[in-house]
Amino acid sequence: MNLAHLLVRASRIWPDARAICHGDKVHATYRQFADRAACIGRSLLHDYGLKRGDRVAIIMKNRPEYLEALYGIWYAGLVAVPVNAKLHPRECAYIIDDSHAGLCFVSGELEGHVPDPIRKIVTPGPEWQRMQAGHAIPPVEVGKDDLAWLFYTSGTTGQPKGAMLTHGNLKQMTLAFFVDVEHLEPGDTVLHPAPMSHGSGLYNFAALQSGANQVVPLSGQFDPQEIYDLIETYAGTFFFAAPTMVKRLVEAPGAARADTANLKNIIYGGGPMYLSDLKAAMHLFGNKLGQIYGQGESPMTITALSRAMHRNASDERLSSVGVAHSVVDVKVIDDQGEALPAGEVGEICVRGDVVMKGYWNKPDASAAALKSGWLHTGDMGVFDEDGFLTLKDRVKDVIISGGSNIYPREVEEILILHADVLEASVIGHPHPDWGEEVIAFVVTKEESGVSESELDKLCLDHIARFKRPKRYVFLESLPKNNYGKVLKNALRDMLAGK
């Protein structure tokens, strides 16, 4: 059941095929990849004294060594703790301490993010090279319920929690990928422009299962022009991207002239994809987009709107997040926990073998999230009669004004229809008469001169009067966390003068 067996299998079927590339250069074939990971695994056990089940952190920007470190950890039967390289050193220290990581792989420029006395291995570096030069071992045998990955949530409120993902969870996620998301073939390309500590990294398993080549941008991050260059270089290019990344690709200089013949599929997720942005991307790329809705607690796997489902879809369907993955059950419930029929909004719940084991060292939070075998996502949604799910908002973000529910995303979708509005975020603010009133934070193009009256008319032309913002706040940028999600608590604090 050890995930490392995916690499063993791939190294036997496609030993000389490209496994990892850095920019346009080959970093490792599948045979080299497996040999290096097997040697790293042996070193972790025999040179560093780690034992099966111990945690090992990774703090690196995207780079080829990231994948080698991951599989070295799994060869040794250890638990990977990938940490977003954009986090503050204090945030990194919290995750390392909370996970009780005994060692950390870190890239040189982030060495200061690892607190003493944690043992750190700088990658690449002399110690890293010595680890790869030793003896190889076969993967340590583990069970499907053994931990593989501690996936730390983004922590938009409070401290992040470590979702315990097992080898079995991640195998189920990978099988669901091939059934519901995309089919990859040997020689295809899985590009990693998004952080490998999260969504993009979770798709590495699909690459190994199919013999695809994983390509890490030289910059180690998302740069639209570099992505276009890599698409032109590599056949069958597939990658995961946040909606904001897709928007930046569409709006990049020269995007209309870029050669995207090699592009196979962009899977977007991790945040709201506004309909106008999706239509612009489909106009530019054609039918080469798919969507997944998931959480760290049910990794990449709750619902999917496949590439085929995008073709000739109505606006209503394009605004959905698709249908339940084949390996899960999904329902929408009311405040009493009862399943709701199509057309009624409630909290989204999911169950299946892909759902996390619980939160690391947080039994109360685990019990609250996992009730009666169902993961309570905290997201609000509604099914249509055909089983397509549309997200509304987080439970805590729903605005109740005058006894009526108002979903911020519905208002945001209208505001960004304005040609000069770049971004919008809507929250509720306490009101003595109505309970809450709708406040919109808006980012506009420079010197656009957009007025409140223009936006008010736009809203009144598209949504009910009671849903329109009662106040507009114009900002140069919206506060976001390191994954690009808007920090609505920071907006609430701004209004409160904190």
Query: Do residues 53 and 78 make contact, with C-beta atoms less than 8 angstroms apart?
Result: yes
Whether the model pTM is above 0.95 = no
Number of domains into which the chain is organized: 2
**What's the token pair of residue 35?**
């040999």
Query: Do residues 275 and 315 make contact, with C-beta atoms less than 8 angstroms apart?
Result: yes
381 and 405, same domain (yes or no):
no
b vs e for 426-456, b when ≥16 Cβ sit within 10 Å of the residue's Cβ?
bbbbeeeebebbbbbbbebeeeeebeeeebb
What pLDDT does 292 receive? Answer: 97
Residues of the chain short of pLDDT 70, as ranges, are 154-158, 403, 482-483, 498
11 and 155, same domain (yes or no):
yes
What pLDDT does 154 receive? Answer: 67
Contacts with 180 (C-beta within 8 Å, 6 or more apart), sequence order:
304, 306, 325, 326
Q: Which CATH number belongs to the domain containing residue 41 in this structure?
A: 3.40.50.12780
Last residue of a domain, one of 337, 360, 389: 389
112 and 157, same domain (yes or no):
yes
Last residue of a domain, one of 389, 408, 430: 389
**What's the token pair of residue 495?**
């209004």
435 and 292, same domain (yes or no):
no
Domain encompassing residue 24: 4-389
460 and 315, same domain (yes or no):
no
Nearest to 249 by CA among 266, 264, 233, 269: 266
What pLDDT does 290 receive? Answer: 98
149 and 104, same domain (yes or no):
yes
404 and 333, same domain (yes or no):
no
334 and 422, same domain (yes or no):
no
Q: Which CATH number belongs to the domain containing residue 421 in this structure?
A: 3.30.300.30
Report the distance separating Cα 436 and Cα 189, nearest Å. Answer: 48
412 and 349, same domain (yes or no):
no
Report the distance separating Cα 10 and Cα 339, nearest Å. Answer: 43
What pLDDT does 397 receive? Answer: 85
282 and 429, same domain (yes or no):
no
Residues 161-173 pLDDT 10s? 999 999 999 999 9
**What's the token pair of residue 403?**
């006894």
What pLDDT does 252 receive? Answer: 95
State the DSSP H helix or E strand holding residue 430, giving kind and residue range, or none if neither.
strand 421-431
What pLDDT does 86 receive? Answer: 84
CA 199 to mean position of chain CA atoms: 4
370 and 240, same domain (yes or no):
yes
* Cα separations in angstroms, 294 against 150, 199, 300, 393: 16, 10, 4, 14
State the DSSP H helix or E strand holding residue 90, giving kind and residue range, or none if neither.
helix 89-99
What pLDDT does 159 receive? Answer: 76
481 and 358, same domain (yes or no):
no
Last residue of a domain, one of 341, 366, 389: 389
